[in-house]
Amino acid sequence: MTGPQRPTGPEQPAGPDPHPDAGPQATGPEQPDGVRRSGLRNPDKAVRGLGAGTMSLEALVLLLAIQPIRVVGGDLSGAAIGVIVALAVACVVLAGMMRRPWAWHAGTVIQGLLLLSGLLHWSLFALGVMFALVWAYALHVRRVILG
């Protein structure tokens, strides 16, 4: 086996290591001072990563969706392709700006614009519904972790 070995006898418990910040008062979801701890070392960074990952994935899916829509029979004009590329670029820009509080609101606007692009092709509306649900979940996780 590789790596250090931990003794598993009665002198040391065999379970996972406890959280380094967890003291005797950190057993429940809330601290005595009323602050809810998420168990994450840096909750802000984790939430930003979730938002950036969601936006990056959306940009990738939008760009990869152009060709299948054209092949399957979608009549995508040059303007429609331009709208899809513009939405993908906006998603990439927002992914890099998740530190700013307004970026979360802008991400919600992007979801609405993607739903509106369903007027260009029905499959874009389907993508809009899927990513709106994913974004709603990301906002929910953000609210739960950050309060």
pLDDT confidence band for 32 (50 / 70 / 90): low
* Average pLDDT score over residue span 52-79: 89
Six-digit token pair at 22?
A: 């967890």
Q: Which residues pair with 36 in a beta bridge?
A: 30
Residue among 65, 119, 70, 69 nearest 88 (CA):
65
Distance CA(33)–CA(101), nearest Å, equals: 26
Using alpha carbons only, how large is the chain's radius of gyration in Å?
A: 22
Is residue 74 pLDDT above 50, yes or no?
yes
